[in-house]
Structure 1
Amino acid sequence: MLKSVARTISVVGIGCALLTAASAAQAEDGYDLWLRYRPVETAWRARYRAEAAALVGATPSPQLAAVRTELQHGLDGLLAETVPATQSAPSEGAVVFGTPASSPLIAQLNLPLQPLGPEGYLIRSVVIQGRHVTVIAANSDIGVLYGAFRFLRQIQTRQPLDRLDIADAPKVKLRLLNHWDNLDRTIERGYAGASLWDWQKLPDYLDPRYTDYARADASIGINGTVLNNVNAKAESLTPLFLRRAAGLADAFRPYGVRVYLSARFTAPIEIGGLKTADPLDPQVKAWWRAKADEIYALIPDFGGFVVKANSEGEPGPQDYHRTHADGANALAQAVAPHHGVVMYRAFVYSQDVPDDRAKQAYAEFKPLDGQFDANVIVQVKNGAIDFQPREPFHPLFGAMPRTPLMMEFQITKEYLGFSTHLVYLAPLFEETLRSDTYAKGPGSTVAKVVDGELDGHALTGMAGVANTGTDRNWSGSIFDQANWYAFGRLAWDPTASSREIAQDWTRMTFSNDPAFVRPVVGMMMGSREAAVDYMTPLGLHHQMARSSHYGPGPWVAGGPRPDWTSVYFNKADDKGIGFDRTATGSDAVAQYTSQAVKAFDDPANQDRFLLWFHHVSWDARTTSGRTLWDEMVARYSRGVSETADMGATWAGLGAYVDPERFAQTATFLRIQEKEARWWRDACIAYFQTFSKRPLPTGYAAPEHPLAYYEGLQFPFAAGTAH
C-alpha cells in the first residue's frame, strides 16, 4: 500500500484565475479573517511545493470533504504562481490526510494517535518511496480538520514543513461562542451589525456565510455556538425556532460546531401552559424532558442548554425557594439521556442589594459545591463584577473543587471601546488564566481549574461572548477579529502565549514581514494596558455611562439599583477613593485564599488592584512615589499618549496593508485617541471635585468643565440592552 502513494496522488490545481497578482496592496474588506490564503513568496513556494503540492485522502464524511475543500482552497491560494503550472513536478510532495478508519495508508503507518483523544491530531513528515509526504492524521474526522487548519497555518506563518512532528489536542472539552443575539436580529452588546442568523429565511435558505462562520470557528478549535441571548425568550424553544436552529446545525456540522440554546427558566409557563416553573415539580420536570426529546429529534447532536437565572431580573429557581443546583439539575436530567450538558451561569445577584456585589456569586454558589449533576458545568465570568478592563480573578475559581467550572470571557468589547478601540484582549484572558488561586498550594492556576487538571474534572469548558455580526469584516473592525481568534486559541490551550497568538494572527491577517509584525504585535500587546489607563486605572471599575456603557460616567448615581451605578464602586469622597474590600470594609478578600490575598497586595500587583480592594487617601504614596491623585492623573494621561503612539505607529505601515483596511484602522485609531482623551478629561474633572488638588506640573487641564461631560447623552448607542 505504501508503494501506491505516487499512483494515488491527486494533483492540487494552482488556481490563479481568481487571484490578482500577489501584492501587499491588494484591496480587501476583511471578510477572509485570518484565513487569507494569499500566494507566498517565490522562495517559500518552492519549499512548500516540495512537501505539499498534492492531496491524498478519501472523503467518506462531510468533515473529510471539508478537509479536502479547505486544503485545496488553501494550497491553491498559498502556492499559486504568477504563471500557472500545468502539473506538479516529479519532486513535489503530497499531503495525506484521514483517520486509520478512512485511510488504509494511515492505518498502515501505525501512528501514535490514541493519546490524542477524539479531537486531537498529528502532523508528521515522512518519506515514502523517495517521495516527501506530510501526514495529517487523527482518531476522528473532525480531528483531521483541526489538523488541516494547523497545517495551513504553518504555511501562512512561513514555518518549515520538511520536518514536522506536531501532536496536539485540546485541553478544554467545550469551546463555545455565546451569541447574545435576539430573535429580531438585534444583538445585546453587539457592535458589528445585525445578527448573522436570518431567522426569517431559515431553515429553507442557508446563507453561505454560515459555512464561513463555521470554518472560522473550526480553524481555531471552537466546537460549539450558543445561538441566542442569555436573556432568553421562551419562543426560542418553540417548534418554529427549533426547526430554524436545526438548519443552522446542519450548516455547522461539517465543521464540528454543535449548537446550543439559552433556555428561559419560565418556558414551561410561557409556552408550555403550566402554572409553575418550580424545578422540583414533577410536571415541570416532565415538560423539560419532553422538550429535550423534541429538540434532539430535530438536532441529534444538540449540545445542551445555557441558563441565566435569578440575575438582572431574569426568572430562576429562587423564585420558587429552590437552589441554583435544583434549577440546573432539572434541565440536566432532561438532556442527560441524550448526552447533553447544562451550562449554568454564576453571574447572579439578588433583588436585595448586597453590601458588595462582588461577593454575590461566591455567596450563592460556594455552598452548593458538589450538589450539581454530573452533566452540569457552572459558567463563571473571569471576574466578579462584569467583564471590566481589569478585575482580579473570580473567587469561585479554586473554591468549588467538586463542581466543574467553565470560564466565561467577553470577546465583544462592552466596556473596552466597542469595535472602534484597538484593544487586544488576549493579555486580559492570559492574565486571568495564569492567576494563582493557591487552592491546592502554589501553581493552582485558574487555567488548571478550567482545564480540569486541578480537581480531576472531565467536563471542562470555556465560553466567549461573541463579537460577530453582519458587517463584512465580521467584528466591526479588523483588529477585533484578533479577539475572536485569540479566544479560540486560548480555549484550545489555556496556557498559550498571548504574544505568540498575536504574532500568528498578524502574519495570517496582514503580512509576514518582520518590519510589520514587530510594531503591530507591540501595539496589540500594549493596547489593553493603555485602555485600562485611560478608562479605569489603579483598580477602578464600573465607571462607564449608564445603560449603553458608551463613554465615561464616574458620576452615575441613582436609578433602580445602587450597584448599577459608578459611585457605588468608586466611593470617591473628600478623603480618598476606592472600594474597601478588606476586613474593615466588605471583606470580599475573605473569599480568596490567604496566599492569593498576599499576591494582590504584592507591590508588583498593588497598583493593578489598589482601588479594587482599598479606599485610599488622595495623598497616599503609590509605588511610583507619586501621591494617589498625581498617579491617577499620570495614568489617565499615559493611556491617551499610548493610544496616540499606536496611531503614529500604524501611520508608518501603509506600505504593508491594502488601502481599505489601512484607512479604516487609521480612522478608528483617531476615534480611539479622541475618546481616550474624553475619558481622561471627564474622569479627572469629576474626581478633582473630591480631591480638591491641582493637577501635577506638566499635565493639561480637562478641555471642558465637568458639566459639559455630565451633559453628554447617547440614547441610541450601539449594543444597548433592550
Structure 2
Amino acid sequence: MLSATLCLAVPSAHAEDGYELWLRYKPIEASRADEYRAHTAELVAPALTPTQRVTREELQRGLQGLSGHVPRASERIASEGAIVVGTPASSRTIADFRQDLSGLGREGYIIRGIHSRGHAATMIAANEDIGALYGAFHFLRLLQTRQSLRDLDIREAPKVKLRVLDHWDNLDRSVERGYAGASIWDWHKLPGWRDPRYTDYARANASIGINGTVLNNVNSNALILTPMYLEKVKALADVFRPWGIRVYLSAHFSAPTEIGGLKTADPLDPEVRKWWKEKAAEIYRYVPDFGGFLVKANSEGQPGPQDYGRTHADGANMLADALAPHGGVVMWRAFVYSHEQPDDRAKQAYDEFVPLDGKFRDNVIVQVKNGAIDFQPREPFHPLFGVMAKTPLMMEFQITKEYLGFATHLAYLGPLYEETLKSDTWAKGRGSTVAKVIDGSLHAHKLTGMAGVANIGVDRNWSGSHFDQANWYVFGRMAWNPEASSQRIANDWVRMTFSNDPAVVEPVVDMMMASREAVVDYMTPLGLHHLMGRGHHYGPGPWVEGGPRADWTSVYYHRADRNGIGFDRSVTGSNAVAQYSPPVAAEFGDVKRVPEKCLLWFHHVPWNYPTRSGRPLWDELVHRYTHGVDEVKRMRGTWAGLEGRVDPERFEQIAAFLSIQQKEAQWWRDASIAYWQSINGLPLPAGYEQPAQSLEFYKALEFPHAPGNG
C-alpha cells in the first residue's frame, strides 16, 4: 500500500462522492492562507513508531491540502512558525513541558503557542503517541474550520475511557440494521487482502477519538472465536493499531458447546470456566491488545446464564475472570427481556439488573441503551442510569437509523444524544445527569464507556447518505466529551464536510438541528413509540398485532381505544415510573407535570385531553404529524437554495433523498392518522388534509426485501 505521503500527489478518482468524510483538506481562502503558512512553515515530528508515522503523515497531508505546501520536516526547531509534535520521550522541546501534561493520561494533549530556541512555534504535546495523534487531528480541525492559530492554549483529554463502535455485521457480510450496503469486513479475503478501506476507516475513527471497534454482531456466531477467524481478526487489529483502535468481539455465550465440544455452557461449571480462560489466552496470542468481549445474553432468543439458573453477574464474571490476566473487559448488554409475557417490557432490564448492582467484577461494564425500549425516535432516559451506583454503566446509542428513516431520511442524532446525556437522574440530587453517570464522575468509576451501533458499509459515502456521516461524527465527539454541544459539533461537521461559507453553514446547521424533531413529529409524536412495520421496521405500522409476543406489536405500546391513547406507566398502570428517582418519578408520573414530549409514553389520556397548546389531544396529534411533514418540505426548500454552493454530486443525491423523505413523511402522517381515525371515529380538525389513501391501502403494503434485517 502506498504511504500517505506518496498518496498526496494522486488525484481522487471519485470527486466529492463522500468518501473523504469530514477529512476533506481542501484549499483555504487566500485571506487565511498567509496566516496558516506562517504558523506551519516547519514540522518537527518524530516518525520512529507506527503511530508517530501516521501522525506526521496526517499533518503533511492536511497541510498540503489546506495551504498548498508541505512544511519542511526537521529534527529540531530552526525557524519561525514550526509545529512541534510528540511526547516528552520523543521530543526534547516537549520534555521541557512535561509537567504541563500532568493529568492528561495517555490520550490527552495540549496545543499551545510556545517560544523555543528563540523562535515562535506551535506545540502539539501528549504523554503518549496516541495523544499526539489526537492533538494533530484537532489542530487540523482548527484549520479546516478557519480558526485563528494565534494565542492557542488548548488542553483536552477524553472524559470516557471506552469509545467504541459496535458493528452489527455478520460473517456472511450482511449487516443487521445496516443501510449502507454490505459489511466492510471482507472475511473471505482476510487475512491475505487488507483492503485500504480498513486504514481509511481507522483514520476516520481516530480523527474523532474513537478507540475501539466490535467487529461482529451482538447476535453473534461462535465461529468468530475459531483459529481461522482469529487470523482474520489479527489482520484487522494490525491495521487499526497505529490509530489507537483496539478490536473487540461479540461472544456467543454457548460457544463452549458449539465449538468447544462441551455439553454445557453453565458459567459455574469448572470445565466451562477453563474453556473460556484458554480461549481468552488464545485470542491474546493473536491480538496482544485485544479489548475484550461484548455479550448479548438471554435476550431475543440468545443463550445466556439464565438458561442454567444463573444470573447475568455469574455469566459476566466468568468471562471477566478469563480476560482479567490480559487486561480485557466485558461489555455486558442490559437489553434483555424474558420469555414470559411482561406487564411492561420497559421494566425488565431494571428488574433483572438492579438486584445485581455491585456484584460484577471490576472489569465488567454494563452496556445500557439510551432508553428502556429500543432506540425509538424519542425515549425518556433509561431508568438504570439513575439506580446502579455500584456498577459502571456504558451508554449504548444507535448511530444507524433503524427507527428514524434508515439512510434516506435526514435525522441528525446529535440532539437525541444530547437530550439523553443532559437528562437529570437525580441519583445524588439535582444535577446528577446521565453524562456524569457515563463519564464516571457521579459514582467515581474508573471504567467508563460509550458505544454506538455503527452505520458503516461498503457504500462510497460510508453511511448510505452524506448526512448520516454526521451521526458517526457527532457520536465520536460526544463519546470524547458527553457534555459537548451537538450544535457546535454540527457547525464543525458542516464546515469540514461542505463549506465554510456562512451562507452554507448557517442554513445547513439549522436543517440538522431541526431534523430529528421533525422525524419524531411525523412518526411518533407526544411520546408514542414502537409504531413501525413488523420485522424490517420500515414505514408505519400502528396496526401491527398478533404474533408470538405481545410486546413485539404496536398495539401493545399505544393501547389506543375509542376513549384514549397511550401506555399508562404511572401508579395506576404498570408503575414503571417507580424505577426512577422520586423527583423524576413524581414528574413523569403526574399527567400535568410530565414533559409533553413524553406524555403518551407514561400516560393513557382521552382523545380530548387538553394539551399545552390549547388544542385537544387529537387535534394536537394531527398538528404534530402535519408539522413534521412541513419541516421536511422546509428542509427541501433550504437545500434547493444551496444549489451552486455545494458540489453537484452531493447536492443531487441529498436533494433526491430529501424528496424520498418528504414522500415517506407524508406516508407516515397519512397512514397513522387513518389508523387513529379508525379507532376514535373523530374528524380531522379544520384546515388539515385527509389521508391520501384508505387505511386498507396502507395496511396492504408489503416490503419483503426492505434492507437491514441481517
- Residue 656 of structure 1 aligns to a residue whose secondary structure is coil
Find the partner of 1:141 among 111, 116, 129.
129
Deviations 1:215-265 (A, max 9, x none): 000000000000000000011111111110000000000000000000000
1:239 to 2:234 alignment? no
1:114 to 2:102 alignment? yes
Find the partner of 2:264 among 269, 272, 276.
276
Query: Where does residue 509 of structure 2 map in the other structure?
Result: 521
Q: Give the root-mean-square deviation of aligned CA atoms.
A: 1.8
Find the partner of 1:256 among 244, 250, 261.
244
Query: Where does residue 551 of structure 2 map in the other structure?
Result: 563
Deviations 1:99-134 (A, max 9, x none): 000112211344500111111001111133453311
Aligned CA distance change for structure 1 residues 504 and 603 (closer, same or farther; 3 Å):
farther
Query: Where does residue 290 of structure 1 map in the other structure?
Result: 278
Deviations 1:544-572 (A, max 9, x none): 00000000000000111110000000101
Query: Where does residue 182 of structure 1 map in the other structure?
Result: 170
Aligned ranges 1:140-539 → 2 under 5 Å:
140-539=128-527
Deviations 1:42-76 (A, max 9, x none): 11110011111221021121111110010010001
The answer on whether the counterparts of 2:63 and 2:71 sit within 8 Å (CA) in structure 1 is: no
CA distance in 2, matches of 1:218, 1:16: 19
Find the partner of 1:608 among 597, 618, 624.
597
1:653 to 2:637 alignment? no
The answer on whether the counterparts of 1:651 and 1:666 sit within 8 Å (CA) in structure 2 is: yes
The answer on whether the counterparts of 1:50 and 1:91 sit within 8 Å (CA) in structure 2 is: no
Q: Give the partner amino acid of 1:338.
A: H
How many matched pairs? Answer: 702
Aligned ranges 1:707-722 → 2 under 5 Å:
707-721=696-710
- Residue 482 of structure 1 aligns to a residue whose secondary structure is helix
CA distance in 2, matches of 1:141, 1:497: 28
CA distance in 1, matches of 2:330, 2:8: 48
The answer on whether the counterparts of 2:532 and 2:542 sit within 8 Å (CA) in structure 1 is: yes
CA distance in 1, matches of 2:355, 2:72: 69
CA distance in 2, matches of 1:508, 1:689: 48
The answer on whether the counterparts of 1:258 and 1:302 sit within 8 Å (CA) in structure 2 is: yes
CA distance in 2, matches of 1:550, 1:323: 35
Aligned CA distance change for structure 1 residues 248 and 162 (closer, same or farther; 3 Å):
same
Q: CA deviation at 1:602?
A: 8.4
Find the partner of 1:619 among 608, 611, 625.
608
The answer on whether the counterparts of 2:42 and 2:73 sit within 8 Å (CA) in structure 1 is: no
Find the partner of 2:682 among 679, 693, 702.
693
- Residue 383 of structure 2 aligns to a residue whose secondary structure is coil
Q: CA deviation at 1:199?
A: 0.5
Find the partner of 1:62 among 37, 50, 53.
50
1:706 to 2:695 alignment? yes
Q: Give the partner amino acid of 1:710.
A: K
Q: Give the partner amino acid of 2:662.
A: E
Find the partner of 1:587 among 572, 575, 584.
575
The answer on whether the counterparts of 1:398 and 1:439 sit within 8 Å (CA) in structure 2 is: yes
Q: CA deviation at 1:86?
A: 11
- Residue 655 of structure 1 aligns to a residue whose secondary structure is coil
TM-score (norm 2): 0.97
**Unaligned stretches of 5+ in structure 2?**
none
Q: CA deviation at 1:27?
A: 3.8
Find the partner of 2:37 among 49, 60, 63.
49
Identity %: 67
Q: Give the partner amino acid of 1:458.
A: K
Q: Give the partner amino acid of 1:688.
A: Q
- Residue 127 of structure 2 aligns to a residue whose secondary structure is coil
CA distance in 2, matches of 1:590, 1:61: 54
The answer on whether the counterparts of 1:27 and 1:658 sit within 8 Å (CA) in structure 2 is: no
Aligned CA distance change for structure 1 residues 449 and 105 (closer, same or farther; 3 Å):
same
Aligned CA distance change for structure 1 residues 442 and 43 (closer, same or farther; 3 Å):
same
Query: Where does residue 629 of structure 1 map in the other structure?
Result: 618
Aligned ranges 1:549-560 → 2 under 5 Å:
549-560=537-548
The answer on whether the counterparts of 1:232 and 1:263 sit within 8 Å (CA) in structure 2 is: yes
CA distance in 1, matches of 2:5, 2:42: 8
Aligned CA distance change for structure 1 residues 91 and 97 (closer, same or farther; 3 Å):
closer
CA distance in 2, matches of 1:427, 1:700: 30
Q: CA deviation at 1:689?
A: 1.0
- Residue 675 of structure 2 aligns to a residue whose secondary structure is helix
CA distance in 2, matches of 1:13, 1:567: 58
Query: Where does residue 76 of structure 1 map in the other structure?
Result: 64
The answer on whether the counterparts of 1:449 and 1:455 sit within 8 Å (CA) in structure 2 is: yes
Q: CA deviation at 1:605?
A: 5.5
The answer on whether the counterparts of 1:346 and 1:380 sit within 8 Å (CA) in structure 2 is: yes
The answer on whether the counterparts of 1:14 and 1:80 sit within 8 Å (CA) in structure 2 is: no
Deviations 1:339-371 (A, max 9, x none): 100000000000011100000000000000000
Aligned CA distance change for structure 1 residues 14 and 325 (closer, same or farther; 3 Å):
closer
Q: Give the partner amino acid of 1:486.
A: V
Q: Give the partner amino acid of 2:430.
A: P
CA distance in 2, matches of 1:87, 1:595: 60
CA distance in 1, matches of 2:616, 2:139: 53
CA distance in 2, matches of 1:462, 1:421: 25
Query: Where does residue 39 of structure 1 map in the other structure?
Result: 27
Q: Give the partner amino acid of 1:711.
A: A
CA distance in 2, matches of 1:110, 1:427: 38
TM-score (norm 1): 0.95
CA distance in 2, matches of 1:273, 1:14: 50
Aligned CA distance change for structure 1 residues 572 and 304 (closer, same or farther; 3 Å):
same
Q: CA deviation at 1:157?
A: 0.4
CA distance in 2, matches of 1:102, 1:126: 17
